[in-house]
Amino acid sequence: MSIIVKWDNNQRTVIRYIFEGTWQWQDFYQSIADGHVLMNEVDYRVHAIIDIQNSHTFPKDLLLHLKPINTKLHPNTGMTVLVGANSFVHALHFILWRIRPRLEERFMILDSLEEARAFLATYELEI
């Protein structure tokens, strides 16, 4: 399968990355590039929803790919919300949060797409 990247709202303030089935790191890095193309269309902060509700496995070498992700952030990147996390993802998030407490300033996990959308709408108003 693959990773679909698209605007999640008409205001173009949220990009949704939809992970479907099994994907590879090549797909992941292409999705980052696709997201950058969308962010280049605007000159303001853009939030992201990482939707893994239909993909519950990760390619091998996950830990090797975590650090470079931060170096690939677009200047317009805002808050990132992940939905569909399983217990492994929650455990990994907890470990990373312990190592990097400021992670919560730009990343969080919520239970549903609706919850993520509501949070980002409120988050934008508070900034």
CATH code of the domain in which 21 resides: 3.30.750.24
Higher pLDDT, 2 or 94: 2
Q: Please, what is the angle between helix 62-71 and helix 25-39, to 10°? A: 20
Domain range for 17: 3-126
pLDDT at 67: 67
User: pLDDT at position 89, please?
Assistant: 74
Write the single-letter amino acid at 29: Y
Q: Does 103 score more than 70 pLDDT?
A: no
Overall number of domains in the chain = 1
- Residue pair 89/109 in contact (Cβ under 8 Å)? The answer is yes
